[in-house]
């Protein structure tokens, strides 16, 4: 399977280097490249759900519209297409805002090429790629949210939202940035079983990606 990658990046030199890296990498293809969100959104609106993208790499500081707003709009049209932020920003508010907008992963531009390719493969396989620094920040945010969610006196979560013990284990693994294969190995279950648990988690929480599932689960004190 060839992974078709679209990129939205206003730095022409960096955009060209991304395209070159993808062309030289087996199993990868630079499917589309845009200098602004407006160009990408126009292409998506024209193609609809027929856009031939398997994953989108999204810069944040873009002309005319932020990458966060562009992510939000893209996910409305292509909810099943992973969007991975690729930026220089690592501050907690920006990371949290991008995740809440629907980003499926968050990488920094100093990510080594081999790792970047591995992370692209991981998100297509169902993972949530994060660079080590971003992962640390996200875990700190999640711990803070978890502490806030655990305030005594709050009512128990609705029964329809309750996750089974195994679903909680799967969600915790995904929170740590593991792909489905790693989760399967960690929990000693099959990848198909992992996918089944993830589908049930998403259905129960009424979400579309791991970041949204984690946020909802912590808010409702489900993990």
Q: What is the pLDDT of residue 99?
A: 80
50 pLDDT more than 60:
no
Q: What is the pLDDT of residue 130?
A: 76
Q: What is the CATH number of domain 151-219?
A: 1.10.10.10
For the chain, report the end-to-end CA distance as a whole number of angstroms.
35
Name the band, by pLDDT with cuts 50, 70 and 90, for residue 149: very low
Model confidence at 150, pLDDT cuts 50, 70, 90, reads very low
Residue 221 vs residue 17, higher pLDDT: 17
CATH fold of 3-132 reads Rossmann fold (3.40.50)
Out of 17-26, 97-106, 172-181, pick the least confident. 172-181
pTM: predicted TM-score of the whole model, two decimal places: 0.68
pLDDT at 55 over 90: yes
Q: What is the pLDDT of residue 183?
A: 86
Q: Which residue has the tokens 């049930």?
A: 200
What are the sequence ranges of the domains in the chain? 3-132, 151-219
Percent of the chain with pLDDT over 90: 42
Question: Tens of pLDDT along 75-132?
Answer: 888 888 999 999 998 887 788 788 878 888 889 999 999 999 998 998 888 877 777 6
Q: What's the residue count for the chain?
A: 223
* Cβ-defined contacts of 197-206 (< 8 Å, 24+): 197/166, 197/167, 197/170, 198/126, 198/170, 198/174, 200/167, 201/163, 201/167, 201/170, 201/171, 204/160, 204/161, 204/162, 204/163, 204/167, 205/161
pLDDT reported for residue 116: 93
HEC profile of the chain:
CCEEEEEECCCHHHHHHHHHHHHCCCCEEEEEEECCHHHHHHHHHHHHHHCCCCEEEECCCCCCCCHHHHHHHHHHHCCCCCEEEEECCCCHHHHHHHHHCCCCEEEECCCCHHHHHHHHHHHHCCCCCECHHHHHHHHHHHHHHHHHHCCCCCCCCCHHHCCCHHHHHHHHHHHCCCCHHHHHHHHCCCHHHHHHHHHHHHHHHCCCCHHHHHHHHHHCCCC
* pLDDT value for 143: 58
- Give me the pLDDT at residue 42, please: 92
The pLDDT score that the predictor gives to residue 6 is 96
pLDDT value, residue 91? 81
Give 151's pLDDT tier (boundaries 50, 70, 90).
very low
Percent of the chain with pLDDT over 70: 80
Residue 102: the pLDDT is 84
pLDDT, position 126: 80
């Amino acid at each position: 399977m060839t992974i078709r990658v679209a990129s939205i990046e206003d730095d022409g030199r960096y955009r060209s280097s991304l395209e070159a890296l993808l062309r030289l990498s087996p199993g990868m293809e630079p499917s589309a490249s845009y200098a602004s969100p407006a160009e990408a959104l126009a292409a998506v609106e024209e193609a609809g759900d027929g856009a031939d993208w398997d994953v989108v790499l999204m810069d944040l500081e873009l002309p005319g519209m932020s990458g966060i707003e562009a992510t939000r709009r893209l996910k409305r049209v292509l909810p099943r297409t992973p969007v991975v932020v690729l930026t220089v920003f690592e501050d907690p508010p920006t990371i949290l805002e991008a995740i809440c907008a629907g980003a499926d992963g968050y990488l920094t531009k100093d990510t080594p090429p081999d790792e970047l390719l591995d992370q692209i493969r991981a998100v297509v396989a169902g993972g949530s790629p994060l660079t080590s620094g971003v992962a640390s920040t996200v875990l700190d945010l999640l711990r803070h949210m978890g502490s806030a969610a655990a305030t005594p006196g709050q009512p128990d979560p609705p029964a329809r939202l309750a996750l089974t013990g195994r679903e909680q284990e799967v969600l915790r693994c995904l929170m740590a940035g593991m792909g489905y294969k790693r989760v399967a190995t960690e929990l000693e279950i099959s990848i198909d079983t992992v996918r089944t648990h993830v589908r049930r988690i998403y259905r129960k929480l009424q979400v579309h990606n791991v970041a949204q599932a984690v946020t909802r689960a912590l808010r409702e004190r489900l993990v």
